[in-house]
Amino acid sequence: MKLIFEAPINSLSFGNVAINLLREMWRKNIDVGFFPIGNIDVSAHNLEPEFTAWLQAAVNNRFAFLDSETPSVKLWHLNGSDNRKTEKQYLITFYEASEPTFVEKKLAKLQTKTFFCSDYATKQFVNAGCNNSVPFKLGFDESFRITGKKYLPERIHFGLMGKFEKRKHTAKIIKTWLEKYGNNPKYLLSCCVTNPFIPQDQMQQIIASTLEGKRYGNINFLPYLQTNSEVNDFLNAIDIDLTGLSGAEGWNLPSFNATCLGKWSIVLNATSHKDWANETNSILVEPNGTIPIYDNVFFKENDMYNQGIMWDWSKESLLEAFEKAEQKIGTVNEAGIQLSKELTYEKTLNQIISHL
C-alpha cells in the first residue's frame, strides 16, 4: 500500500499519536511519503533505530508520492485542514466543542472523509450535515508500561495532568481536592498542569489564585515533562488519576493511559470519555449539566472555531468519587490493563485504512 501522511512530530498529544501511527505503518510495510507539519522533534520519544531510519527515508522521499492517485492522510486540527496534497485527503482530528461552525462544517466536508476521535464529536458533525464524518478510537501507547516500582507507599497519591484550562476544570478539581485533603499528610496531589501557551509569570499567578493565597504542604506543581519516560514515571507513581474530570475532550490521553496502566481514574461520563471509560474500568462521575466553553483565551465566543458548551459536575459528586477511589487503594485496575490490550494502535490504523 502507498500513501502520504502529514502530521506533526513533537512531545504534544498530536506528536504522540503521529509517532504511533507511523510505527504501525512501518510494521505493516506501508510505503509512506511523510510530510511533517512544523519541525520534527523526536526528543520525547525513544525510537527504534530501524524505525528511525524508515521515518527519515519517508521524509526524504516524500515528494515522489505526489500524484493524484495517492491517498493523503492528514493528522491535524480542522483549522488548517484547507490545504491538501492530493485529490483524496482523509483528515484525522480531535474536536472538543459541541456546535460545529459554518467554517468547521465547510472544512469537514472538504475532506474525502473526516475521522473524529469520538462518537460524540462524530455525531455533532453528522447532525450538522457532514455525512463524511467517521469515528475512530485511539490505541494505548506501548512506550508506556508498568514499572513495578514503589514510589510513595505511605501516602495516597492523586495525579492531575494536562494543560491548565477552564475546559479541563483544572482549578475546580484542585480546589475541591484541597477542600477535602488539604494539608493532610496521608494524601498527596501532584499536578502536571503547565500550559506552554501561557507565560510563566502569568501561570504562577493562576496557581496562586487557585490556592487562594493559602499554603499547602501536600500539593506539588511539577514542570512540563519533556519525555514519555518522565510521563510514564508520573503515571506509575500515582494511585488515583483526576485528569478524566475534564468537561470537553477529544480523547484525554493522560487519563486513558493511566487507566491502561492499572490506575484508578475518576472520569466524567461525557464526550470522548464514553468511548473508553466505563463503570468497570473507571470511577464514573455523572455530569450535572453544561456551561459555555468560552474562556476568552483558547475558546472565544463568536469565533470561527470551537463554539458551544462543555460538561460540568458537582462538587458533591466528586467528593463521593474520592471516597469510592480510596476504597480501591491497594488493588490493581485489571479492567484498565485489559483496556490496553483491547485498544491498540494497530487497530487504530486498521480503522483508518479500511476507509481509504
Q: Give the model's pLDDT for residue 35.
A: 98
Residues 165 and 271 in one domain: yes
In the structure, what pLDDT confidence band is assigned to residue 197 with cuts at 50, 70 and 90?
A: confident
Computed over every residue of the chain, the mean pLDDT equals 97
Residue 37 CB-half CA count within 13 A? 20
Place of cell 510505503: 31
Q: How many structural domains compose the chain? A: 2
What digits encode the pLDDT tens for the residues 121-178?
A: 999 999 999 999 999 999 999 999 999 999 999 999 999 999 999 999 999 999 999 9
**Cα–Cα distance between 131 and 350 in angstroms, integer?**
21
Give the pLDDT confidence score for residue 196 in this predicted structure. Answer: 82
Averaged over 189-202, what is the pLDDT? 91
Question: Do 38 and 60 lie in a common domain?
Answer: yes
pLDDT in tens, 65-92: 999 999 999 999 999 999 999 999 999 9
Q: Are residues 105 and 214 in the same domain?
A: no
Residue 150 maps to a domain: no
The string of DSSP codes covering 1-34 is -EEEEEE--SSSHHHHHHHHHHHHHHHTT-EEEE
**Same-domain check for residues 189 and 217:** yes
Over range 47-60, report the average pLDDT: 97
Each residue of 260-296: pLDDT tens digit? 999 999 999 999 999 999 999 999 999 999 999 999 9
The whole-angstrom separation of Cα 266 and Cα 295 is: 24
Q: Is residue 109 part of a domain?
A: yes
Which of 73, 5, 19, 36 lies closest to 253, judged by CA?
19
Q: Is the pLDDT of residue 95 over 90?
A: yes
Query: pLDDT by residue (tens digit) across 330-351?
Result: 999 999 999 999 999 999 999 9
Burial class (CB in 10 A: 0-12, 13-18, 19+), 39: exposed
What pLDDT is recorded for position 314?
98
pLDDT single digits (tens) 287-333: 999 999 999 999 999 999 999 999 999 999 999 999 999 999 999 99
Please check whether residues 209 and 161 belong to one and the same domain: yes
Q: Please tell me whether residues 50 and 78 are part of one structural domain.
A: yes
For residue 293, is it within any domain?
yes
Same domain, 7 and 105: yes
Expressed as residue numbers, the domain containing 206 is: 156-342
Instruction: Kindly report the CATH number assigned to the domain that includes residue 79.
Output: 3.40.50
pLDDT of residue 195: 86
What share of the chain in percent tops pLDDT 70? 100
Question: For 231-265, how does the pLDDT look when each residue is reduced to its tens digit (9 = 90+)?
Answer: 999 999 999 999 999 999 999 999 999 999 999 99
E strands present in the chain:
2-7, 31-36, 72-75, 89-93, 113-116, 133-135, 156-161, 187-192, 219-221, 240-241, 264-268, 283-285, 289-292, 309-312
